[in-house]
Amino acid sequence: MTPRPSYLALASALLCLGAFAPFNAVPLLFVCLAPLLIRLGEPGVRSFRCGYGFGIVFGLGQFFWLTQLAYRWTGSFVLALVPLVLATVLYAIYFGLIGWLVQRCWLLRMPWLIPLVWAGVEAFRSYIPVLAFPWGLLASPLWHYPALMQSAHWLTIFGASAFVVLVNTALAVWYRERSFAAVRPLIAGIAVVALVPVAAEWIPVNTTPLRVTAGQPGVDLAFGDPKPNKLAVEFNVAQIQEQARNEKSQLLVLPEGLIHTPSTMPPKIPFTVSSSLPIVFGGQRGDEPAYQSAFAYDGAWSVADKTRLVIFGEFVPGRNVIPFLDQFHLPTGDISAGTRVSSLTVNQTIVGPLVCFEGLFPDLGYRQTLNGAQVLAVMSMDDWFMGSNAPDQLRAGSVWRAVETGRPVIRAASTGFSLIVDRFGNVLGDAPTQTTSAITREIQITSGGAPWWLPVFPLLSVAVCLGLIAFPVLVKSTRKPASSAATS
């Protein structure tokens, strides 16, 4: 017999969606999971189904932009639903796993493990091969409040998600126990996670000023007519370059999608470049294989290829195996991934390029700092899904990478969102969408070492999840049967 729907899980999913764009009721993050956690603490609850139901509702809200995107490619509303359904069904499995593990935490009387469980599953789903898609991470909306993001410099965005879950867990424990003593250890943990990273902002760091410009051409590079687009890009980029020079900019970052060039260098570009204004921008190079790449010019050309690709956006898995998938005609064709994370040295400044989707991955920002990157450049073309909730999360990812790495971020998009962020996640300047804009600001760059500790918390949280999965098996394997104990 099918159990009745869990209305507490449904309420949690809807409250959680309310914290994300387009609603942006961010304070809901600190209460949204409490109903789900309370439900999972009930004896006999079917925990996986409860978590899976949460994931279905949350996933439908998070991935609806895929339907808008796929419809433009297939021309069929039915086919456009396929990515939404597939993404949501797979996405919900992770929340089913969370539900199962959270109930185990309650059974072990260890509710303080619940934040680690949530963070561990978030980290796992962000890096699983092929299907890696760090979308809808719980802490993502906190980018609106930089003071609440600072734990990410030590724990990554997954640690910030754990902090949000910790607050929700405290509410659930208080509801169940009606005892301040039961909640006291959790409150102490909340205070430590909240206050220590903020205090760390006062640690002195040697920095050097650098004037940079984020250029937004204001041209729809996804759905516009290619020939007028080429002329508009040439004219608008020239305007941006002139403004950047007038404001004495030392580095100009432009979006991806500006060129489609052969793999040989120098690339064919629809605008002029000069060593007097070093430039970084994105485009596609080559055919069969084709790469999304970041190009840099400071008197000499250099290039770095994108290593993380968007499933159903830049490649379609199983296209040659599942018949109907060949109907997904990607506008750029299937893209190949680069083999290594590379930085670009531009006029003696080491720039870590993150091409669009790559800005969502904490490890790529970290690996760029291992390359010595002093500033991160996110080149994006959000025109595919403007008007949906997708550009908001892509913008948020850029702010999180700044806080995690302690490196300023320059984000340039074709029609928005373009912005410049300091190393604490403060937005120093942003451009109105759908306009031609050049934002020039002075940022502080550092040549300090990479934050080597960033992988520690994600690995720890995944290890906790694995431990909770393995614990009953280990206990059972070490427990002797009653008959053996009697004869021994």
Task: Give this prediction's pTM.
Answer: 0.91
Distance CA 140, CA 151 (A): 13
pLDDT confidence band for 483 (50 / 70 / 90) = very low
Residue 314 CB contacts under 8 Å (≥ 6 apart), including other chains = 292, 330, 332, 334, 335, 357
- Mean pLDDT, residues 414-437 taken together: 96
* 378 token code pair: 């996110």
- Mean pLDDT, residues 103-123 taken together: 96
Is residue 376 within 8 Å of residue 125, measured between CB atoms? no
Give yes or no for residue 382 having a pLDDT over 80. yes
- Mean pLDDT, residues 19-30 taken together: 97
Give yes or no for residue 465 having a pLDDT over 90. yes
Q: Which of 71-85, 90-104, 287-301 has the lowest mean pLDDT?
A: 71-85
pLDDT confidence band for 313 (50 / 70 / 90) = low
The residue among 332 and 430 whose pLDDT is bigger is: 430
Give yes or no for residue 117 having a pLDDT over 80. yes
* 442 token code pair: 């002075």
pLDDT digits (tens, 9 = 90+) for 274-306: 999 999 999 999 888 889 999 999 999 999 999
What is the structure's pLDDT at 83? 81
With both helix axes pointing from N to C terminus, report the angle between 114-127 and 456-478 in degrees, rounded to the nearest 10.
Answer: 110
What is the structure's pLDDT at 473? 59
Mean of per-residue pLDDT scores for the chain: 88
Give yes or no for residue 476 having a pLDDT over 60. no
Total length of the chain:
488
Give yes or no for residue 318 having a pLDDT over 80. no
User: Tell me, what amino acid is at 196?
Assistant: V
Instruction: Mark 175-209 as b/e (b = at least 16 C-beta within 10 Å).
Output: eeeeeeeebeebeebbeebbeebeeeeeeeeeeee
Q: Which of 68-77, 160-169, 254-263, 298-307 has the lowest mean pLDDT?
A: 68-77
What is the structure's pLDDT at 477? 53
pLDDT confidence band for 380 (50 / 70 / 90) = very high
pLDDT confidence band for 479 (50 / 70 / 90) = low
What is the structure's pLDDT at 328? 52
Q: In terms of C-beta density within 10 A (0-12 exposed, 13-18 middle, 19 or more buried), how is residue 212 classed?
A: buried
pLDDT digits (tens, 9 = 90+) for 223-272: 878 788 889 999 999 999 999 999 999 999 999 999 999 988 899 999 99
Q: In 10 A of CB 166, how many CB atoms?
A: 23
- Mean pLDDT, residues 207-236 taken together: 91
DSSP state at residue 299: S
- Mean pLDDT, residues 132-146 taken together: 95
Q: What percent of the chain has pLDDT over 70?
A: 89
pLDDT confidence band for 100 (50 / 70 / 90) = very high
Give yes or no for residue 14 having a pLDDT over 60. yes
Half-sphere exposure of residue 49: CA atoms within 13 angstroms, side-chain side: 9
What is the structure's pLDDT at 2? 39
Task: Please list the alpha-helical segments (H only) found in 247-389.
Answer: 362-370
The partner residues of 410 in beta bridges, in order of sequence, read 377, 420
* 450 token code pair: 């990479």
* 116 token code pair: 């680690």
Give yes or no for residue 207 having a pLDDT over 80. yes
Q: Which of 366-370, 382-386, 482-486 has the lowest mean pLDDT?
A: 482-486
Quick one: residue 262, left, alpha or beta (phi over 0 = left, psi -120 to 50 = alpha)?
beta
pLDDT confidence band for 484 (50 / 70 / 90) = very low
Distance CA 398, CA 393 (A): 9
Between the alpha carbon of residue 355 and those of residues 304, 314, 446, the distances in Å are: 10, 12, 22
Half-sphere exposure of residue 361: CA atoms within 13 angstroms, side-chain side: 24
Q: In 10 A of CB 38, how many CB atoms?
A: 19
What is the structure's pLDDT at 387? 84
Phi, psi angles (nearest 5°) of residue 242: -60, -45
What is the structure's pLDDT at 485? 39
What is the structure's pLDDT at 326? 54
What is the structure's pLDDT at 7? 87
Q: Which of 169-173, 361-365, 382-386, 397-401 has the lowest mean pLDDT?
A: 382-386
Fold designation for 208-445: Nitrilase/N-carbamoyl-D-aminoacid amidohydrolase (3.60.110)
Q: What ranges do the domains of the chain cover?
A: 7-201+455-478, 208-445
